[in-house]
Amino acid sequence: MARKFFVGGNFKMNGTIQSIKDIVKNLNDAQLDPNVEVVIAPPALYLLLVREHLREGIEVAAQNVFDKPNGAFTGEISVSQLKDSNITWTILGHSERRTILGESDEVVASKTKFASEGGIGVIWCCGESLEERESGKTVSVIEKQLAAVSAQIKDWKNIVIAYEPIWAIGTGKVATAQQAQEVHEAIRKWLKANVSDEVAEQTRILYGGSVNGKNCKDLAKEKDIDGFLVGGASLKPEFVEIINSKQ
């Protein structure tokens, strides 16, 4: 069965009530490819605003979630609170969480286990730094990240993988379609060897890293690229072009 193309928009720490309402209106009014699953991730403060105004058929993601059910965890959001608010996805393991906030592979894996077992879809991110790529360690770095999450996950049906080379996030540098395809293929091979043929075949692997309206069509042609996790361009009208990149 063909994997359904998936496009996520990560707003990061950007937006105001008005600008986010404008983004939502643009998506509501747009002709979007019905064969693409679309999820947008505004800052936590605006999750309910977006869910209230966004049309059916587009889902909403948190940019983080905690791995405890409730309690004295100031500043965190629980899986049950997301579900109570009809927020059906979360982004976990983004390089900015890993590098700026010090989240280890094990912390990311624990959050991923808790969210996915709780019925929330997870956009699980992995990727290498420029230094790691230049020293030929790209695949080994990603395999280590995959091994950490695989050690805690039994069921992969709620998980989408996003390959985001750190050196291409917000820099304007983009992995070539061939570079991205090579890593996506390596991820799928790892899943086949270490999880199962079924998970390798069914799990969607997204590319993230300065995706925009100009480069999305070439990237979307690659056989192991099943969609995108979009940063800055998800705040702009060209996000619609990226969603429709398979047309």
CATH number at residue 108: 3.20.20.70
Q: For residue 111, tell me if it sits in a domain.
A: yes
Q: For residue 167, tell me if it sits in a domain.
A: yes
pLDDT at 1: 64
Is the per-residue pLDDT at 205 higher than 70?
Answer: yes
Query: Token pair for residue 185?
Result: 């293929």
- The total domain count for the chain is 1
Q: For residue 14, tell me if it sits in a domain.
A: no
User: Where does the pLDDT of residue 88 fall: very low under 50, low under 70, confident under 90, or very high at 90 and above?
Assistant: very high
* pLDDT tens track for 126-174: 999 989 998 999 999 999 999 999 999 999 999 999 999 988 887 877 7
215: left (phi over 0), alpha (psi -120 to 50) or beta: alpha
Q: For residue 226, tell me if it sits in a domain.
A: yes
- Residues taking part in catalysis: 94, 164
- Find the domain containing 212 and state its range: 37-47+59-243
Q: For residue 31, tell me if it sits in a domain.
A: no
Which DSSP state fits 2?
Answer: P
pLDDT at 190: 98
Strand partners, 29: none
Is the per-residue pLDDT at 191 higher than 80?
Answer: yes
Residue with tokens 């047309």: 247
Cβ contact 164:145 at 8 Å? no
Q: For residue 210, tell me if it sits in a domain.
A: yes
CB-based burial label for 125 (10 Å; 0-12, 13-18, 19+) = buried
Average pLDDT taken over every residue of the chain: 96
Is the per-residue pLDDT at 219 higher than 70?
Answer: yes
Q: For residue 23, tell me if it sits in a domain.
A: no
